Amino acid sequence: MRAQAQIGKVGVIGCGQMGSGIVQVCAQSGYTVIVSEINDKLLQRGLTAIGSSLDRGVQRGKITAREKNVAMSRIRGTTDNRDFGDCALVIEAVMEDLDVKKKIFGELDRVCQTQAILATNTSCLPVSEIAAATRRPEKVLGLHFFNPVPSMKLLEIVRTPATSEVTLETGREFGASLGKTVIVAGDTPGFIVNRLMVPQVLNAIRMAESGAATGKDIDTGITLGLNHPLGPLALADLIGLDTLLFIANSIYNRSGDSQYLAPETLKKMVEAGQLGRKSGKGFYEYK
């Protein structure tokens, strides 16, 4: 309970796919949470998504109805970032756009107490550049959660050269208090997980593209031969092909490493609106 006692109140910026999951997990772990959205409609959508996710937990017998209500009672929504003034930790989870994130960090730096830690959930942007928008780079780090946040056990902490030991330690304790296993990565393109995942998925796409094997056989090879829960093409569909393309381009642009050059098939599928599970069609079809 050390982290809860130290941090107490957590702020989350953005209540989309990741923000809503982060809010839910924080509230279930005993934190008071305030979450912001750009307008009331999106805020209500996000809060409803959290309620529905907790309801599913109740239906599956993972939590009681009372636990759901207690978690919801710890959450407050806002559309005004000035409400983050008394948070000890604020986690930003808005769209993957460096300029938008820098603007938010500049604003948070002005409204948050000087000792507050500011974190970004970015998948692939340079955390150092986001930190440079503040006057407290030693109190900035990446807290990279995985989707869906309530069920994924991993938290990848990104430490920049400026992140202090105390900030890193608080991040570790915070992650552990949410029941996550914490790993620490340097602020390098793709951090640990995406840096290793993206080349494998792009190689699988290139292999299918070249006709060396069918997509289904590539996935079966990886699931049964390497014991992965999903094959690389099924994983690409789950991530979203547009998101995968964005991450690959971003790592390529930062590193210049040709492993991250997007295959033509991926670009064409995204152009055609075949985005994977979310659009009903990617490398597989979804009902």
Ligand X SMILES: NC(=O)c1ccc[n+]([C@@H]2O[C@H](COP(=O)([O-])OP(=O)(O)OC[C@H]3O[C@@H](n4cnc5c(N)ncnc54)[C@H](O)[C@@H]3O)[C@@H](O)[C@H]2O)c1
- For the chain, how many residues are written? 287
Concerning whether 194 is annotated as a catalytic residue, the answer is: yes
**In the complex, what is the shortest distance from the CB of residue 36 to ligand X, in angstroms, rounded to a whole number?**
5
Asked if 17 touches ligand X (CB under 6 A), the answer is yes
- Classify 268 as helix, strand or coil: helix
Total of chain residues touching ligand X, rule CB under 6 A: 23
- Of 108 and 207, nearer to ligand X (C-beta) is 108
Tokens at residue 210, please? 């070249």
Asked if 25 touches ligand X (CB under 6 A), the answer is no
Concerning whether 129 is annotated as a catalytic residue, the answer is: no
CB 131 within 8 Å of CB 162? yes
User: Choosing from 20, 121, 156, 250, which is the catalytic residue?
Assistant: 156
Burial (0-12, 13-18, 19+ Cβ within 10 Å), 129: middle
> CB-based contacts of 284: which residues, under 8 Å, 6+ apart?
215, 233, 234, 237
Asked if 274 touches ligand X (CB under 6 A), the answer is no
Alpha-carbon span 99 to 117, nearest angstrom: 20
Footprint (CB under 6 A) of ligand X, residues 145-204:
145-147
Footprint (CB under 6 A) of ligand X, residues 126-145:
144-145
Of the residues 24, 28, 122, 250, which one makes contact with ligand X according to CB under 6 A: 122
Binding mask of the shown chain, residues 73 to 102, with x at each position contacting ligand X by CB under 6 A: --------------------xxxx------
Of the residues 104, 130, 141, 201, which one makes contact with ligand X according to CB under 6 A: 104
> Could you please report the per-residue DSSP string of 159-226?
E-TT--HHHHHHHHHHHHHTTPEEEEEES-TTTTHHHHHHHHHHHHHHHHHHTSS-HHHHHHHHHHHH
Task: Just list the catalytic residues.
Answer: 123, 144, 156, 194
Residues within the interface to ligand X (CB under 6 A): 13-19, 36-38, 42, 93-96, 104, 121-123, 144-147
